[in-house]
Structure 1
């Protein structure tokens, strides 16, 4: 169970076996989870977090103003990067209907947290993240493996390979974490681009207003309090660390896990489990990664409240063992090593070493 490389499903040697009913398999797991009470709301937990957000932001702004025009502001910038990321995790929970029973309450919570406090468009993120949850690691379907600067399939690497970039593509793993320093700017830019585009987005004018207040007000405050040199350094540190923190929280979840061919059809249980990776660790890691270290549980039950994921993990791991479904779990730094080795292998032009085991054996059922 606790392997760092996805193992194949049991081979097809031996006597013929009947094909399991994939719908009933997930239904049985869902019944176990429901019976355990792990889908119940955690209102006290989430209300405490929701009330803490404006208090924390008020405190951060007060510290920022009091510190004034000094280079000590770089420490404040690092603190803000952590605050923005932790707040984004809370918005992620609301977007997955983890906080309230009412979809409308969850939507507005996500809008306020995402757009007004973090500066990320909820509508843009929802569209992108919904596609990812529907088809994790599926070629041409999952937007999280279609990045402009990193290749996750040999086909992507071949398209970007030319005499100028050949070395960079072959060693793209070395650039993965440095590139994440630009992710903060990319998230804000993608959000603004989406709300001003012609693509459909619910509550467009609300998002435009919130983003203008958040991004415009933030920049105005920074340049009012700080001199230009310190202000640009402050923004560089804050945006860089925000992007890095977001990246290292999301990178271990699926990168380097099996890729699903564009024409493959998998049942829900295997589609979510085989393409996801958990990161083992303490409760401190649970907080630091916003519960994303329980990626398998989150993908199977997206609306499960974050504090219940740790309790659900052993139930789901045991169920996967019963069904012969590989449940992958690694340490945090192990997961980064897997990601970097995988990206480099793709950059060198090798075929995907993490081909989906279920796809490879579909014909044996």
Structure 2
């Protein structure tokens, strides 16, 4: 007769049982045909935009191409994200090199910088002191960040929800700058220095092409619009997934299943939502199975939702614009939550899971 499981073992078993069921259904198998097709379409679109840019010449209609280029580069970013999560190929090396080429050579971003930050986020989403996505300087995501500011900073924090999406227009510049800062830091590895050369070359070649083929005014407008649209579209795809969900104080102990489900939010929608968000609208499933190919997330969603319902775990899913309204409202009221950062509808569930789960299992 098997001895009874401890509370910690029961929580571990919840995720391992779900993982085994998903694996048995073949839902973790790679979808290389899907990704080869998508990469071919996206790279073909890049070539088409470049050809139209050259043919159009000195014209303000180039600004339409700036917007189109930004949208295509967002799709490149999603593909790099998937490859960095090793969703595309069976070989880890092929996934890693694909992510490096797409990020460094096409986007002008560092995949090593992004991966280090993103892995910390996946390990402890929305946890103070662990998730870098809630430790940004420009935006306060938890009451402690508001309390640490001066009077002007607190005044801005009370209105930061309205500033959040306008600030995303600077996200493109920020991603390039953060990448180079990371790669050129003192003590950077040889691999980082090689990646720095690739990223810097891509950025330099792109900017040089713009100013060689267009007058200064049009080139500057093209560059500014492309970076702004890219930042807004990419940020708008990532923002709804965790912002406005519970913030876990430093030291909170949660089992893996609850840590990923309770801190994440799915976005309802169809094919267009999937395209615009790169599959990140299935954020709960993506966090539970990071290496699962993007097109499979839709198939596993009803399984995960039913599993959560059976075990009494709240499963958050809203429409896209509702999610943006939640994000804006949450950010505008972060300072008002200073009395209890866990004061939310899921607080009881989190406290219960945390006390029963024992050590941090993520």
Instruction: Work out whether residues 123 and 202 of structure 1, in 8 Å CA contact, stay in contact via their aligned partners in 2.
Output: no
- Give the equivalent residue in structure 1 for 2:351: 360
SS at match of 2:136: coil
2:6 maps to 1:23: no
| Distance apart, 1:21 and its partner CA | 0.5
- Give the equivalent residue in structure 1 for 2:41: 52
Choose the corresponding residue for 2:105, options 90, 109, 116. Answer: 116
- Give the equivalent residue in structure 1 for 2:296: 308
2:276 maps to 1:292: no
Task: Give the unaligned 5+ runs of structure 2.
Answer: 1-5, 358-362
2:250 maps to 1:259: no
Instruction: Work out whether residues 260 and 356 of structure 1, in 8 Å CA contact, stay in contact via their aligned partners in 2.
Output: no
- The answer to which structure, 1 or 2, has the higher relative contact order (CA under 8 A, 6+ apart) is 1
Say what the alpha-carbon RMSD is for the aligned residues: 1.8
Task: Give the unaligned 5+ runs of structure 1.
Answer: 1-17
Instruction: Work out whether residues 273 and 327 of structure 1, in 8 Å CA contact, stay in contact via their aligned partners in 2.
Output: yes
Aligned length: 348
- Give the equivalent residue in structure 2 for 1:13: none
Q: TM-score, normalised by structure 2?
A: 0.92
| Distance apart, 1:49 and its partner CA | 2.0
- Give the equivalent residue in structure 1 for 2:219: 231
| Distance apart, 1:63 and its partner CA | 0.8
Structure 2 CA distance for aligned equivalents of residues 222 and 131 of structure 1: 36
SS at match of 2:224: helix
SS at match of 1:130: helix
- Give the equivalent residue in structure 1 for 2:128: 139
Structure 1 CA distance for aligned equivalents of residues 174 and 204 of structure 2: 17
2:61 maps to 1:61: no
| Pair 296,217 (structure 1): closer, same or farther in 2 beyond 3 Å | same
Structure 2 CA distance for aligned equivalents of residues 84 and 291 of structure 1: 16
Choose the corresponding residue for 2:169, options 181, 200, 208. Answer: 181
Q: TM-score, normalised by structure 1?
A: 0.91
- Give the equivalent residue in structure 2 for 1:43: 32
Instruction: Work out whether residues 147 and 154 of structure 2, in 8 Å CA contact, stay in contact via their aligned partners in 1.
Output: no
| Pair 349,305 (structure 1): closer, same or farther in 2 beyond 3 Å | closer
